[in-house]
Amino acid sequence: MKMHCFILLIFTFFNSSILRADDYKILYTNSKDVLVDGKKVQVGATFNDKSVITWAKDVERQAIKAVNTKTNKMCLFVSQSLEKNSLTALEILTANKHLSTHAAYQEGQDISIPIKLRKSFEENYELLDTLVIDTNVKLPPSLSLIATYTYGDARVSKTLKTENGQVIIDRKLFSIDGKALQPRDVTLNLDLYNKDDGMYTFIKADVQLMVIPETAK
């Protein structure tokens, strides 16, 4: 009887591990020299949590943008700050803290929009082409989310695009008076602006945004 229970536990664990495995479809990469399971990365190809991603040596900030085919969540696999050259997809996601496992807030809680937003933002993000942050907060027309950062001697403020409970950041963040700037790593300060009364509400400071080059070098 004990042996049967032990076998059943092993089977249950193995089966649940399979059910939890996620698959990803590659949407974009900034390096053609990355290997996925020993094959050169290709847009449109799929891989899973256990797939081994091997980054090209001596090339900084390589990245693969993919969509989780089960959840439709966007994921960014980044080589930055990883000691090993080859890791599984799950190990890379975990190392870069890109697993979307937390809810922005608990349903039913009576908390204000600023508090909900503060709970939604992490301290570090990577920007390849477009960064989408799920907040579950739909802003009314009177409210805007403002990102402010320092670029050289200039202090730049930009209104971030928000729609359907998401905050969207792209490379248009880097411009002054319509003139494009060279994207670079910046520290963002986030505030909520009320158009009706002209007041700003603090959301989060020192959000580190690391820019991934469109072509790895």
Q: What is the pLDDT along the chain (217 residues), one digit of tens a residue?
A: 444 444 444 444 444 444 457 899 998 888 889 999 999 999 889 999 999 999 988 888 888 988 888 877 778 888 865 567 888 998 888 776 543 333 343 444 335 788 889 888 988 999 988 999 999 999 999 999 999 999 988 889 999 999 999 999 999 999 888 888 899 999 999 998 888 878 888 899 999 999 998 777 6
The identity of residue 44, as a single letter, is G
Q: How far apart are the first and last CA of the chain?
A: 60
CB 144, CB 117: distance < 8 Å: no
* Separation CA 62–CA 79 (nearest Å): 5
* Separation CA 6–CA 152 (nearest Å): 63
SS3 2: helix
Predicted TM-score (pTM) of the model is 0.61
* Separation CA 116–CA 6 (nearest Å): 45
- Torsion angles phi and psi, residue 108, rounded to 5: 90, -10
Q: What is the DSSP letter of 103?
A: -
Domains of the chain: 18-95 (no CATH), 113-211 (2.60.40)
CB 77, CB 89: distance < 8 Å: yes
- Looking only at the bridges linking them, the beta strands covering 39-40 and 35-36 are antiparallel
Predicted local confidence at residue 95, as pLDDT: 72
Predicted local confidence at residue 82, as pLDDT: 57
The token duo for 156 is 């730049």
The token duo for 216 is 């790895």
* Separation CA 21–CA 119 (nearest Å): 27
CB 121, CB 190: distance < 8 Å: yes
The identity of residue 40, as a single letter, is K
Distance of CA 129 to the CA centre of its chain: 11
